[in-house]
Amino acid sequence: MSKTPGPGGVGSTFLTQLHQLTTKTTTTTTKPSRFSGAENINLVAVLRSKSSLRAPSIDSPLSLEGWSREEGNQPAIEPEQLTTWLTSTYPPPHRSIIIIDTTSSSLIAESYPLFLRSGIHVVTANKKAFSSGQSLFDEIYRITTADPHHPLVYHESSVGAGMPILSTLRELLATGDRVHKIEGVMSGSLSFLFNNFMPLTNKQELLPWSSHVLEAQRLGYTEPDPRDDLSGLDVARKLVILARVAGMKIDGPDAFPVQSLIPKPLAHVGDAEEFLKRLPAFDQEMEALRLEAEAEGEGEGEGKVLRYVGTADLDSGQIEVKMVRVARESPFAGLRGSANLFAFWTERYGSEPLVVQGAGAGAEVTAMGVMGDLIKVIERVGME
């Protein structure tokens, strides 16, 4: 949670976008949004780690324009209390209640079954409900298919931020295609690191690995402690979600090989500052790997590049996350900046995969993905 008023970077951006959407649907000087239901949305609570800002009634909702300037008017609220307050103050089915989760909280993720059983819809960017224990994943989807008027859960932004990754996969499956393999560069921070550490064309000066890690942290591409990204766990969680949606049963992100890019001696040293201070001592290890990749195919101008790739083979049941050498003509080699790329190898697409590529990180695109899911819920509830 943010230390400043508001629900964190993605949450604050989402509420800003929602305010803009509402304004555009009611302003004649701008082109109307295709979604016409934004004016019917009432913001009734903004929850923080240590306080909560709650509307006194449905007739007095929070202002989408002014919520960030208001301090929390009540203490933090636990999931059970939140459920009771919402369902008693705004009882469904007379009104649709939607919880927007832009945290990475395990506690909130584990409370999704509670919310759903109470008739509350869930829209989330939180990976943990769908990538932790298989039983939680199964329970969530069991509840949401229990009856014709079941509550809805959407989590497009748990994989690929605002990119249409899960919706693409679900459409492939729903239309009867068979998915053989899913692979991709699934981390914006690691994409940035490798695209700069070993670019497709070496026109700029090649800098040591630690320099790129420092730059990625400075630009905000990594978590405050870069080890959270370098561990590979974020990619592993996304791959678990994709594989589960495709029908695989997986215990969790620790159930398959995940290559960590953290030097073993630095895995548990002090804080992020201490880690970054000592990281240059291990630059030669990454430099040796870069040279080995460049030398592969030497003499034919076909030296390879390093990329960090997650792969789920649905046919064999094998999943792995690791640094790989890819040919220069590979779609993974041509990525720039912090771009992500997801490739779906399917029966219908044959020898050429269906590729979805774009910005896979950042508050703006992640919030947009959450907004898209919110609109889907509203449209579906209105149709039922």
Q: Binding site membership: which residues?
A: 6-11, 103, 127, 223
Q: For the residues of 50-73, what is the DSSP string, one character each? A: SEEEE-SSTTSPBPTTTGGGSPPS
Question: Which bin fits 226, alpha (ψ -120 to 50), beta or left (φ > 0)?
Answer: alpha
Q: Which of 104, 78, 80 is nearest to 10 (CA)?
A: 104
Q: Rounded CA gap, 163 and 157, in Å?
A: 8
Binding-site residues from annotation for NADPH: 103, 127
- Do residues 187 and 340 lie in contact, with contact meaning Cβ atoms separated by under 8 Å? yes
Clarify whether 322 is annotated catalytic.
Answer: no
- Do residues 204 and 196 lie in contact, with contact meaning Cβ atoms separated by under 8 Å? no
Q: Give residues with Cβ within 8 angstroms of 79, minimum separation 6.
A: 107, 108, 111, 114, 115
Strand arrangement, sheet containing 74-75:
45-47, 51-54, 74-75
Binding-site residues from annotation for NADP(+): 6-11
The torsion angles phi and psi of 341, rounded to 5 degrees, stand at: -145, 125
E strand spans, 3-103: 45-47, 51-54, 74-75, 98-101
Amino acid at 115: F
- Do residues 323 and 306 lie in contact, with contact meaning Cβ atoms separated by under 8 Å? yes
Which residue do the tokens 């766990």 mark? 233
Cα 283 versus chain centre, distance: 29
Q: Which of 31, 238, 249, 304 is catalytic?
A: 238
Residues recognised as catalytic: 238
